[in-house]
Amino acid sequence: MIKCLKGNVIFAEEKNKLKVMPHSYLVINNERSAGVYESLPEEYKNAPVEDLGDKLIIPGFMDVHLHAPQWLNKGVGYSEELLPWLQKYTFPLESKFADIKFAEKYYKLFVDELKSSGTTRACIFASRHYEATKLLIELMKESGIGGYVGKVNMDRNSSEELQETYEDSVKETTMLAKEYSGDDNALVKFILTPRFVPSTTSELMTKLGEIAEKYNLHVQSHLDENVDEVAWVKELHSDIPTFTEVYEHFGLLPDNRTVMAHCIHNNDREIEVLKKHNTFIAHCPLSNFNLASGIAPIKRYMEEGLDVGLGSDISGGHTLYMPVSCVAAVSASKIYHVSHKEYSPLTFAEAFYLLTKGGGKFFGKVGSFEEGYECDALVIDDSNITSIDGMTLEERLEKFIYTGNRGNIVRIYCRGKQIK
Ligand code: GUN
Ligand code: FE
């Protein structure tokens, strides 16, 4: 079925330039965009058109790194850095997801809030629990938004209640891989999720590398987030030169299908390894501020051709609403620029690219309205915040991202289907 939305269409076609099309037609052919036109081409003349007036039509937001079971903890615990924060706040909360009733209550609230935030694709860590992870996958499917969900693997250096055995980890991960892989077109897919090097034994990492290959799975984890974490990895694997190469050694950087969160303290050698495997980087500025982890050299990654998207990293980050992470990415880049003059700050257009088309690349052809892209769209009513007469559409978008909220999102489409 073909349908058309008429409005002020804005999307990031290139890394540093917005495509702005006033009062234009976004043509949706089933799941995909058939392009954006100033006037409707002859072949679509009979298609139904919905006129959205002066509203903005923009791509859905992409969140390439977050932890669903940490949703209740957002906004607390930020006087600690990563390692004590995990022990004091994160592990105790995640261990509660052994209780499926608890999981059901909070995963429902989580998915509702994720969807109402305008996020149409997300790359999600569940907890290490098999049943709760399955439930989260099913709730995501019901919601109409898409992405990846992974059962966390963690068989060392955790709390007593949360740590799993090697045997259970392998058994449950294999069950999920069998149940949820194989359909490349599925909107919600399973992703292999070793928590990070310190929480997975060499034995388990070896096995997970084999599972990733056997089931052709995507992989997500954490990399070079915090200086104490980096030192700990060095201690645990003194025979391997770098943190990045530990993942590589165990087959956990499969080419083109791995996303690593943070990547703040990587050295040049590690950056070359990431390039070699075309590893995707999830930039999580809110989390990096809250846990005093540092600032990732995002402009450098972009200039050197690495793929980057934005992650809320709930609950290292404190909000699921991705425009806040987009603004934080700009702020982080400005602070970074002060001590690294060779890298200019991110422009608004670049940050919006990361929020949409940049992050969307991890999910396929997603995050843009170019012809052939899966059509994830938000309709924005910014009439309560367009305070200055004669603002350009670029300015209206920037103002919405900086000062708007969920209430401005009046419609949501994912893969061509209206879900709100
Ligand atoms: N490293 C290992 N686990 C975690 C986590 O839950 N959050 C963050 N930010 N980093 C991690
Ligand atoms: Fe994280």
**Residue 309, pLDDT score:** 99
Last residue of a domain, one of 343, 363, 383: 363
One domain, residues 84 and 120: yes
User: Residue 7: its pLDDT value, please?
Assistant: 98
Which residue out of 67, 85, 91, 262 has the highest number of ligand 1 atoms within 8 Å of its CB and is therefore the one to mutate?
Answer: 67
Amino acid at 136: L
319 and 392 fall within a common domain: no
Tens-digit pLDDT profile for residues 398-407: 999 999 999 9
Ligand 2 centre to CA of 30 (Å) is 34
**How confident is the model over 273-322, as pLDDT tens digits?**
999 999 999 999 999 999 999 999 999 999 999 999 999 999 999 999 99
Cβ of 91 less than 6 Å from ligand 1: no
Q: What is the CATH number of the domain that holds 100?
A: 3.20.20.140
Q: Could you tell me which of 259, 242, 249 has the C-alpha nearest to residue 202?
A: 249
Q: What is the pTM of this model?
A: 0.98
Q: What b/e sequence results for 361-395 when a residue is b if at least 16 CB atoms lie within 10 Å of its CB, and e otherwise?
A: bbbeebbbbeeebbbbbbbbbbeebbeeeeeebee
Domain of 174? 61-363
Q: Is 298 left (phi over 0), alpha (psi -120 to 50) or beta?
A: alpha
More confident residue, 192 or 389: 192
Answer yes or no: do 96 and 227 share one domain: yes
pLDDT of residue 153: 98
- Are residues 173 and 309 both part of a single domain? yes
CA distance 97 to 91: 10
Distance between CA atoms of 142 and 414, rounded to whole angstroms?
A: 12
Residues 137-184 have pLDDT tens digits of 999 999 999 999 999 999 999 999 999 999 999 999 999 999 998 899
Q: Do 117 and 227 fall within a single domain?
A: yes
CA 284 from chain center: how many Å?
9
pLDDT in tens, 321-336: 999 999 999 999 999 9
Using 50, 70 and 90 to split pLDDT, how confident is the model at 388?
confident
> 194 C-alpha vs ligand 2 centroid, how far in Å?
11
Q: Which residue has the CA at smallest separation from atom 3 of ligand 1?
A: 195
Do 270 and 122 fall within a single domain? yes
Whether 203 and 122 share a structural domain = yes
360: amino acid identity, one letter:
G
H or E, element range at 115: helix 100-116
For the Cβ of 243 lying below 6 angstroms from any atom of ligand 1, the answer is no
- CA dist 236 and 250 (Å) reads 14
Is residue 24 domain-shared with residue 68, that is, in the same domain?
Answer: no
The answer on 197 and 139 residing in a single domain is yes
* Radius of gyration from C-alpha coordinates of the chain: 21
Q: 69 CA distance to ligand 1 centroid (A)? A: 12
Which ligand has the nearest atom to the CA of 90? 1
Final residue before a domain boundary, out of 344, 363, 382: 363
Which residue, chain included where needed, has tokens 């388990």?
Answer: 204
Q: Which ligand is nearest to the CA of 66?
A: 2
Given phi > 0 = left and psi -120 to 50 = alpha, else beta, which region is 382? alpha
Q: Distance between CA 407 and CA 117 in Å, rounded?
A: 9
Last residue of a domain, one of 363, 390, 409: 363
CATH code where residue 389 lies = 2.30.40.10
Token pair in block for residue 329: 């990415």
> CA-to-CA distance for 178 and 64, rounded, in angstroms?
23
Whether residue 240 has pLDDT greater than 80: yes
Q: Which ligand is nearest to the CA of 85?
A: 1
Ligand 1 in reach of 369 Cβ (< 6 A)? no
Ligand 2 center from residue 415 Cα (angstroms) = 26
Number of structural domains found in the chain: 2
If asked whether residues 237 and 162 sit together in one domain, one would say yes
Q: Are residues 231 and 264 in the same domain?
A: yes
Residue 244 has a pLDDT of 98
Check whether 387 has a pLDDT greater than 90.
no
With beta carbons less than 8 A apart as the criterion, state whether 118 and 378 touch.
Answer: yes
Report the mean per-residue pLDDT for the chain: 98
Residue 232, judged by CB atoms within 10 A of its CB (0-12, 13-18, 19+), counts as: middle
- Alpha helix positions (H), 319-392: 322-339, 348-353, 359-360
> What angle (nearest 5°) sits at the alpha carbon of residue 105, between those of residues 113 and 154?
90
- Do 196 and 345 belong to one domain? yes
272 CA distance to ligand 2 middle (Å): 23
Q: How far apart are CA 367 and CA 97, in angstroms?
A: 32
- Asked if the model's pLDDT at residue 31 lies above 90, the reply is yes
Give the model's pLDDT for residue 355. Answer: 99
